[in-house]
């Protein structure tokens, strides 16, 4: 016995067969014989094309506007970065000590001048 492999049809082929079926010149059986596809499959492709044809005209032309709340992950990352930067600046320029001292990681103040 030989093992049958499933046929994979390209989207162009499916569209061609479905358009032929929508025209209504030939029956689904005739179209199936012509293209080597089962008539039920021709009917499914025809139905799918008819259902999705309206979606071709729904989208408006031009670039889609970017929503500011579209990517919350990116916004939270930006907030975190800004908080770290603000904390660093607050620690660097505290008003309780003169600017001529530098604080080391061991919290030891060194005089720079």
**Terminal Cα distance for the chain, rounded:** 94
Helices and strands (H, E) in the chain, number of each type:
4, 2
Q: Are 5 and 29 in contact (CB under 8 A)?
A: no
With b for 16 or more beta-carbon neighbours within 10 A and e for fewer, the 67-88 pattern comes to eeeeeeeeeeeeeeeeeeeeee
Q: Is the pLDDT of residue 32 over 90?
A: yes
pLDDT of 70 above 80? no
With tokens 């001048």, the residue in question is: 113
Residue pLDDT, tens place only, 77-91: 899 999 998 888 888
DSSP letter string, 39-93: HHHHHHHHHHHHHHSGGGTTSPSSPPPPPTTS-HHHHHHHHHHHHHHHHHHHHHT
pLDDT in tens, 95-113: 665 555 566 666 665 555 4
Distance between CA 92 and CA 88 in Å, rounded? 6
Distance (Å, whole) CA 36 – CA 97: 87
The pLDDT of residue 68: 62
């Amino acid at each position: 016995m030989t093992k049958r492999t499933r046929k994979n049809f390209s989207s162009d082929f499916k569209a061609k067969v479905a358009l032929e079926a929508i025209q209504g010149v030939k029956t689904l059986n005739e179209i199936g014989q012509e293209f080597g596809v089962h008539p039920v499959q021709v009917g499914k492709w025809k139905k799918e094309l008819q259902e999705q044809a309206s979606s071709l005209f729904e989208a408006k032309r031009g670039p889609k506007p970017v929503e500011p709340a579209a990517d919350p992950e990116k916004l939270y990352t930006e907030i975190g970065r800004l908080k770290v930067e603000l904390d660093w600046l607050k620690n660097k320029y505290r008003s309780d000590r003169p600017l001529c001292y530098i604080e080391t990681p061991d919290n030891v103040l060194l005089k720079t001048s």
